Amino acid sequence: MNDTMTVRNVRDAFRARTRSAAETCRDALARIERLDPQLHAFNTIVADRALARAESIDRHFDRWRHAPLAGVPVALKDNLCTRGLRTTASSRILERFVPPYDATVVARLETAGAVIVGKTNCDEFAMGSSNENSAFGPTRNPWAVDRTPGGSSGGSAAAVAAGMAPLALGSDTGGSVRQPACLCGVVGLKPTYGRVSRYGLIAFGSSLDQIGPMTRSVGDAATVLAVIAGEDPADATSAPEPVPDYASALEQGGGDIRGSRIGVPWSLLDQGVDADVRRAIDAALQVLRARGATLVNVDLPHAKHAIAVYYLVATAEASSNLARYDGVRYGYRADCTELRAMYAKTRAQGFGPEVKRRIMLGTYVLSAGYYDAYYLKAQQVRTLILRDYEHAFGGPHAVDVIAMPTSPTAAFRLGERVSDPLQMYLADIFTVSANLAGLPAISVPCGFTADQLPVGLQLTGRRFDEATLLRVADAYERDTAWWTQHPPIARR
């Protein structure tokens, strides 16, 4: 694998005219052609379109030379709308859907000079933690092809880990950027809710969804966030917050985190965390301590309820959002002459088992007689989860970030948890709280298990304080080499 295939290296080589955008694009497409038959990271590959775009960037060098992502190949999760390019959300119901517009993040990437090479596989409608719920078959983990890459953005994580693209976008509703980034050994950033426009993202849970980058390094994630972040008139939930120059701040900071206070909820790590994962996390915390940070015990008393709360709120919102797929407006329509039968048949044939499960759960908790007992109660506990974090980040003993594992285990085998949804859902135990509270969080590689499977360290920060989050993550990365490791399949 080419070690120069990072966002900043690709861009800088283009600027220096030592490597053209077309050369970089051809390399990426060649790797996709060679590796994707084994990994199935992509649902759609757009080689001709990508090369035409890269060649155009080369021809108009002066126009693009200062663009922050000039010539950088990017893979997009297949739930981000792309004008004129099939967008399926890995569902049969949208198998032939071609949007007439671009998602805001897609438009911003292209304005910054990026080159789209394809749409990545994911759990259907982003519902899953293993990528096994895709209607088009699972993606495989580049570190061990018999294991899951995580989900729901598993295709994006696998694409970056295998060197098929230095940058991919995913969506994160309960950990769907961070968990696959962890299991595939790359960086995954979930920004604050409202930091990045959701316009053009096919909705799963509207109060939880957030789009974020997956990259090789923290610096690359910082570069990309500055491009895709910012208020958007097309998304009423996007925030009018100023967007810092995150990458420059990292360069100027030089990895200095002396005096930083890192909260660790030790009591949450006592049960259910794999021994190899715990060892890697403990070692990572000592690296940060050696950098001058102080480790502080924090209490998150309501975190134990986060999974239950998430799977009530998220399924309720999914039930509402997916009501639009009825065979009338767009997407798949079953062949049927009677209207009610057509609705039922379309949804029965178009949706997979996990999506149906979540629609039924969500419809149940929103139904008369159960709303107060389930959905309303979940929203109340959601507020308590947020207050736990606000308490940790405020007051005289405030911490700057909170550290914990991204996932309690390394990548599990494909098929291992399919028949046990509860075990599958528990894979998100450490990630869902950031979504429920609307906080930014990042996963960075921090080691390997005895089986040479990646482990991830998760850092969670204050609302709209991605700068601190990135600074601490960058400091850790400077003193370790985990992020430079490549899976065996990528070395061929």
Domain that holds residue 230: 7-263+398-491
Tell me what pLDDT residue 422 has: 83
What pLDDT is stored for residue 4 in this prediction? 63
Q: Is 344 a domain residue? A: no
Judge whether 77 counts as a catalytic residue.
yes
| 458, 178 contact by CB (below 8 A) | yes
**Number of domains forming the structure of the chain:** 1
pLDDT, residue 279, reads 98
Q: What is the pLDDT, as a whole number, of residue 153?
A: 98
Q: Point out the catalytic residue in the list 129, 153, 171, 176.
A: 176
pLDDT of amino acid 1: 46
Domain assignment present for residue 290? The answer is no
Confirm whether 389 is domain-assigned: no
Evaluate whether residue 246 is within a structural domain: yes
Q: What is the DSSP string of 148-186?
A: ---SSSHHHHHHHHTTS-SEEEEEESSSTTHHHHHHHTS
Which of 77, 119, 238, 260 is the catalytic position? 77
In a domain, 390, yes or no: no
In the chain, which residues have pLDDT < 70? 1-4, 492
CA distance between the termini of the chain: 7
Is residue 337 domain-resident?
A: no
Write down the pLDDT at residue 3. 58
Q: Which residue of the set 91, 152, 156, 407 is catalytic?
A: 152
Domain assignment present for 292 = no
- pLDDT value, residue 176: 98
Q: What is the CATH number of the domain that holds 197?
A: 3.90.1300.10
Query: What is the C-alpha separation between 182 and 208, in angstroms, rounded?
Result: 20
> Is there a domain that residue 330 lies in?
no
Give dist(CA 395, CA 418) in Å, integer: 44
Q: How far is CA 276 from the centre of its chain?
A: 24
In this prediction, residue 492 carries a pLDDT of: 64
